[in-house]
Amino acid sequence: GAGVSQSPSNKVTEKGKDVELRCDPISGHTALYWYRQSLGQGLEFLIYFQGNSAPDKSGLPSDRFSAERTGGSVSTLTIQRTQQEDSAVYLCASSPPGSGRYEQFFGPGTRLTVL
């Protein structure tokens, strides 16, 4: 079946512009995560959605970052007034409910470059 998809695959923007990154999780997966992977760095947790519960935003690095998940499915990560240090690969992952919830299925990522 279809895996997690993300769009765009690459995004080049100018400093100060806003960007929106999209994630389509696997159908039926209730949990959705956003991570950031910077060059030479590990995975940095950003935000986590679980069903209809309030999202865990504890990883968002600043108030320029926000995310929403509509209808418990598609999610959009928005970065306002982008800075050069926002350049990274942004990964989305989803997990099924129940006993399979521990495993995360990752998308291919969106490579963001801020000039």
Partner 1 sequence: AQRVTQPEKLLSVFKGAPVELKCNYSYSGSPELFWYVQYSRQRLQLLLRHISRESIKGFTADLNKGETSFHLKKPFAQEEDSAMYYCALYNTNAGKSTFGDGTTLTVKP
Q: Applying CB under 8 A, which of residues 20, 22, 45, 64 lies at the interface with partner 1? A: 45
DSSP state letters, 15-44: TT--EEEEEEPPTT--EEEEEEE-TT--EE
Q: Applying CB under 8 A, which of residues 23, 29, 35, 94 lies at the interface with partner 1? A: 35
Binding of partner 1 by 48 (CB under 8 A): yes
Task: Compose the 5-24 pattern: x for residues touching partner 1 by CB under 8 A, - for all others.
Answer: --------------------
User: Whole-angstrom Cα distance, residue 3 to residue 5?
Assistant: 6
Element (H, E) at 48: strand 43-50
Binding of partner 1 by 102 (CB under 8 A): yes
CA torsion through residues 98, 70, 79, 54, sign:
negative
Q: Which residues bind partner 1 (CB under 8 A)?
A: 3, 31, 33, 35, 40-43, 45, 48, 50, 56, 91, 93, 101-109
